């Protein structure tokens, strides 16, 4: 299994590619599919974040000190 850090590096790289993508090259009707897939990915990312927070709540010293 790959490290979380490596997976996050890949995610950040893909997000940079998406941000730089030429959406004008995508047919208008296909943009709805692009939007749908991006929204699904965003919801999945939020769910993963919630899992991380839930795991933190189980650690000694939670809540984390304010920085």
**Residue 65: pLDDT over 80:** no
Distance, CA of 9 to CA of 58 (rounded, Å)? 26
User: pLDDT grade, residue 61 (50/70/90)?
Assistant: confident
pLDDT, tens digit, for every residue of 12-31?
A: 999 999 999 999 999 999 99
pTM: 0.78
Q: Give per-residue burial for 47-65: e unless 16+ CB within 10 Å, then b.
A: eeeeeeeeeeeeeeeeeee
Distance, CA of 60 to CA of 23 (rounded, Å)? 46
User: pLDDT grade, residue 60 (50/70/90)?
Assistant: confident
Kindly list the domain boundaries of the chain, sorted by start residue. Answer: 4-57
Identify the CA nearest to 4 among candidates 61, 65, 63, 55.
55
């Amino acid at each position: 299994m790959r490290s979380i850090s490596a997976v996050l590096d890949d995610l950040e790289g893909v997000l940079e590619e998406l941000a730089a993508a030429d959406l004008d090259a995508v047919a208008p009707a296909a943009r709805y599919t692009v939007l749908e897939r991006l929204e699904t990915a965003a919801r999945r990312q939020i769910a993963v974040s919630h899992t991380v927070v839930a795991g933190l709540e189980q650690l000694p010293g939670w809540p984390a000190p304010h920085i």
